[in-house]
């Protein structure tokens, strides 16, 4: 297996498994919603950081892999509600990054 060529697929399958296991372990609806909201928040940060620097499709594949695994393993709460909160977390994080309210650690504006 060549890691240089198949890293996105391997990481995507890893995140499918991670999302599935995480959704199964969280039996509380509240913690499930908070976790998927934070997952959307982190996914948007990753998407924003990689948007203009690298090919974006592998990272979209990884994000969708996590979401798919989480939705498949989510049996204690509504899948639609889970999807809505993931999208809300993603949209909020992306908006905050675009408006520079959250900055990248290596940027000059980080240290004031």
Of the chain, the percentage scoring pLDDT greater than 90 comes to: 62
C-beta separation of 44 from 90 below 8 A: yes
Rounded to an integer, the average pLDDT of 78-91 is 95
**Domain interval for residue 73:** 7-98
Q: Is residue 103 assigned to a domain?
A: no
Q: Is residue 110 assigned to a domain?
A: no
Confidence label for 112 from pLDDT (cuts 50, 70 and 90): very low
Q: Is residue 105 assigned to a domain?
A: no
Confidence label for 54 from pLDDT (cuts 50, 70 and 90): confident
Q: Is residue 1 assigned to a domain?
A: no
Q: Is residue 34 assigned to a domain?
A: yes
One DSSP character per residue, 50-112 reads: HTTTS-SHHHHHHHHHHHHHHHHH--SS-HHHHHHHHHHHHHHHHHHHHTTSS--TTSTTS--
Q: 45: which residues sit within 8 A by CB, 6+ positions away?
A: 93, 97, 102
Task: Name the domain count of the chain.
Answer: 1
Angle, alpha carbons 78-56-22 (nearest 5°): 30
Of the chain, the percentage scoring pLDDT greater than 70 comes to: 90
pTM of the model: 0.85
- For residue range 11-32, what is the model confidence (pLDDT) as tens digits? 999 999 999 999 999 989 999 9
Q: Is residue 41 assigned to a domain?
A: yes
Q: Taking Cα atoms as reference points, which of 73, 53, 71, 52 lies closest to residue 63?
A: 71
């Amino acid at each position: 297996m060549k890691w240089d060529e198949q890293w996105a697929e391997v990481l995507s399958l890893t995140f499918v498994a991670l999302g599935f296991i995480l959704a199964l372990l969280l039996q509380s609806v509240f913690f499930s919603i908070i976790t998927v909201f934070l997952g959307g928040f982190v996914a948007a940060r990753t998407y924003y950081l990689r948007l203009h620097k690298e090919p974006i499709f592998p990272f979209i594949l990884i994000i969708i892999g996590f979401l798919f695994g989480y939705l498949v393993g989510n049996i204690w709460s509504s899948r639609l509600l889970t999807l809505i909160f993931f999208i809300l977390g993603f949209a909020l994080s992306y908006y905050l990054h675009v408006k520079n309210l959250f900055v990248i650690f290596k940027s000059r504006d980080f240290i004031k």
